[in-house]
Amino acid sequence: MAIAKVSVSVDADLLAEARELAGRRGLSALINDALRVRLQHARVGRLLDEMDTEFGPVPTEIEEEVRRQWPQTGRPVHFPSA
């Protein structure tokens, strides 16, 4: 895999926290991982949009049932609105 060197502007406090989190792995590895995750989220979002277009939105009853059954992680569950 080719590596490209780039220059970016980042909030100073965010950068300090990122450097601390990155530790020995280094800031480049952390940013590479973060970009990979963000891009994957965007791809999944596009797929869900395509599925909504093709099949329609998830019915409210099913959405409510999933919310009741989904393990509570402490994080909110968001469904795309139609």
Does the pLDDT value for residue 75 go beyond 70?
no
Domain ranges of the chain: 15-68
Check if the beta carbon of residue 42 is closer than 8 Å to that of residue 73: no
Does the pLDDT value for residue 81 go beyond 80?
no
Q: Among the residues of 1-82, which ranges form H helices? A: 12-22, 27-55, 60-69
Burial of 18 (0-12, 13-18, 19+ CB in 10 A): middle
In the predicted model, what is the mean pLDDT of the chain? 89
Q: Is the pTM of this model over 0.85?
A: no
